[in-house]
Amino acid sequence: MKIATPLTVAQIKRLTKDGLYALGGIPGLSLKIQKGTKTYVYRYLCASGRRRIITIGKFENISLSEACSQAFTLSQSIFKGQDPLDEKNAQKSISKPGTTFEEVTLKWIEQREKNNYYTNPREPSRILASFKRNLFPKIGQTSVNKIEAVDLYNAISSYWINNRASAKKLLTWTRQVFRFAIALKLRKNRENPASIDGDFGVLLQNTPRENKEDNHMPALPVSEIPSLFIDSDSLYSMSARAVEFSILTATRSQATRLAKWENIDLENGTWEIPVEDDKEKGPNRDRTIYLSSVAINLLKRIPRFPNQKFVFLSNRGSPFGDMALQMVLRRLHETKLEIDGVGWVDPKESKKRNKPCPITVHGTARSTFFTWARDDGLGNNRKFDKDAVDRCLLHTPRDPLKGAYDRSTLELERREIMEAWGQYCYSKLTSSQ
């Protein structure tokens, strides 16, 4: 198939006569001019062989590059045997879905799946399972138009008290479900009953503290980190490399699992974590991770294929799920347990809880790093600036103004800290090679 020479924006602007013009670059991407209005459209053949055309957007509203991107996405859908025009028409039919909370939630998840919102294919089932366990039995059959803040509070309060972290995630999804219902005009009252700024937030303020002991995420003692890297290096798996990268960068599991090549600059040794992959969503927050030479070399060893978006991919070609990285440490723990009868455990938490506590990715990547940076036996407490250590962890400044006046990034100090941490993690591994 011959592809027309791509037109530039300037050339498109000079087109004035009504008609349909091929823009080139992406087969099927065209410009439709009708009564002076210019619209990007995409022409294609559906599975039945019928020629169809779908509107992308008006010339003045979207850029040419965005139109090309959308056309490419449409071409990928067609390649998979889908018909984007049928899907677009089907979406119009959701204006009046079922009105119970359960029905609207199912429709909300379905629409996100259709629009490829989820990067992890297992995410929808995990979200649905949480709703089925905690909210559907109580308010699932209630109309979304009738649910008020007190109804939601009564449904989720016990879960909130006993499992605060998971309940926060469920509450975030619930707010999004009600926003979806409001957008579809299924609620006469446009107030979101799950909003923390409304009545629901007032009710939560009087909820007892989480009914749990103040336990920390089990973390590995600083002195054992180099030995852990020797064991991890013996695993020839992408998930093991992800665990190592998370520890080397002292980042949370989600940021590592969803790390994208486009956000990593190997030449300058930086990784910009996008807001959607960060726990804190502040717009002006510093999300730069300075990569040590060890972390950079690890990334350079990872195979990179054309159109590969994510750094760490499972065998299915998708990002790892929540437990994938933890399973690496679990395997290492079980292997070591058979050898020495102890395994990879946190001795302090084990003593505190009176049972063995295998280490976690979060605890080891972040708590162990912070402990190492403040270790007086290694002299790090005198060597490293505490503010710089906090910024390596992307912690929000602790002053009342949250760093409003402090615009420094402490880049040089942070690079020095991360380089020293990387060399420490690899100290036994390097000497054994």
Tokens standing for 197? 């700024």
| Shared domain check, 413 and 369 | yes
Q: Is residue 1 part of a domain?
A: no
Tokens standing for 291? 């990569």
| Shared domain check, 315 and 275 | yes
Residue that finishes a domain, picked among 170, 205, 240: 205
pTM higher than 0.95: no
210, amino acid identity: E
Q: Is residue 119 part of a domain?
A: yes
Residue positions counted in the chain: 433
Report the alpha-carbon distance of residue 18 to residue 88 in Å, rounded: 26
- b (16+ CB within 10 A) / e for 111-137: ebeeeeebebeebeeebeebbeebbbe
| Shared domain check, 65 and 170 | no
* Domain count across the chain: 3
Find the distance separating the first CA and the last CA of the chain, reported in whole Å. Answer: 53
| Shared domain check, 198 and 259 | no
Domain span at 136: 96-205
Tokens standing for 97? 């879905």
Report the alpha-carbon distance of residue 260 to residue 387 in Å, rounded: 27
Tell me the pairing of strands 19-22 and 288-290.
unpaired
Residue that finishes a domain, picked among 83, 106, 129: 83
Residues whose CB is less than 8 angstroms from the CB of residue 398 and which lie 6 or more positions away in sequence, other chains included: 390
| 291 CB burial (10 A radius; 0-12, 13-18, 19+) | buried
Residues whose CB is less than 8 angstroms from the CB of residue 73 and which lie 6 or more positions away in sequence, other chains included: none
Q: Is residue 3 part of a domain?
A: no
Q: Which residue has the tokens 């800290």?
A: 417
Closest of 30, 26, 60, 58 to residue 42, by C-alpha: 30
Q: Is there a contact between 31 and 20 (Cβ–Cβ < 8 Å)?
A: yes
Give the orientation angle of helix 164-183 with respect to helix 123-134, to 10 degrees.
100
| Shared domain check, 286 and 174 | no
Tokens standing for 174? 């619930």
| Shared domain check, 270 and 359 | yes
| Shared domain check, 134 and 78 | no
Instruction: From first to last of the 433 residues of the chain, give the pLDDT tens digit.
Output: 445 578 888 888 888 888 888 888 788 888 899 888 899 888 888 776 778 888 888 888 888 888 888 888 888 877 777 777 776 665 554 444 568 999 999 999 999 988 888 877 778 888 999 999 999 999 999 999 999 999 999 999 888 888 888 889 999 999 999 999 999 888 887 889 999 888 888 888 877 765 455 568 899 999 999 999 999 999 989 999 999 999 999 999 999 999 999 999 999 999 999 888 877 766 667 889 999 999 999 999 998 888 888 999 988 888 888 789 999 999 999 999 999 999 999 999 999 888 999 999 999 999 999 999 999 889 999 999 999 999 999 886 654 444 444 456 789 999 999 999 999 999 998 655 5
Report the alpha-carbon distance of residue 162 to residue 157 in Å, rounded: 9
